[in-house]
Chains A and B, each alone.
Chain A
């Protein structure tokens, strides 16, 4: 069974810091890994998608890496801003029955203080 774990569960940093969010998964048979952002009371917004054959993806101040063999991914946020405050979710796309489905971690709740 695929288990996805995110560490830390919560994080508070002052504005301007660089930070790393961690995601680990137990089964390396994944098709891709996706990082999402969720604001309170809102839906999920996709941040980055890494295919299983890729090592990293970058979008602006965000960089996500994937080490499939060790079952780990990290999301690096550079020069954090108060607007980055949200919950960040990691999800692995893995075989499920007749197709594929996303398995989610419980998320990291990030607070960036001015």
Chain B
């Protein structure tokens, strides 16, 4: 199993550009998440999804959009990139919490710099 796969690993964007961060999981997990990690600030939840077709905002959703058309994929879209979006982005997945082992698995991250 590949687990949670994120692409790209690194990206530099210019202010105002757009891009999509890709995330795919092969564990048939219902739950998927996007977090951002800034130095010394811990991980903040951007968006999450409890299943295909269902998404919801986290703590810091402004400037981002998501979609969940399949169980496996959960792309994160940045529109009009701003320097404040410079961060490391992590995608994660987990089973439904009440279905036994609810361990969350994380991808290796995408390091994004907006200049």
Contact = CB atoms under 8 A, between A and B. Distances in A.
Determine the main DSSP class of A at the interface with B.
strand
Given A34-B103, A49-B102, A49-B103, A102 B109 contact: no
Contacts, number: 71
Interface in A65-108: 89, 91, 93, 96-107
A4 B106 CA distance: 19
Interface residues of B, number: 28
B50 A99 contact: yes
Contact of B103 (A46, A96, A98): A46
B12 interface: no
Contacts of B104: 34, 46, 91, 93, 102
B31 A100 contact: yes
Interface residues of A, number: 27
Nearest to A103: B45
A101 B58 contact: yes
Nearest to A49: B103
A49 B41 CA distance: 22
Interface of B: 31, 33, 35, 40-45, 48, 50, 54, 56-58, 90, 92, 97-98, 101-109
14 contacts: A31-B97, A36-B106, A42-B108, A43-B90, A43-B106, A46-B104, A51-B102, A91-B104, A93-B102, A96-B45, A96-B58, A99-B48, A100-B31, A104-B35
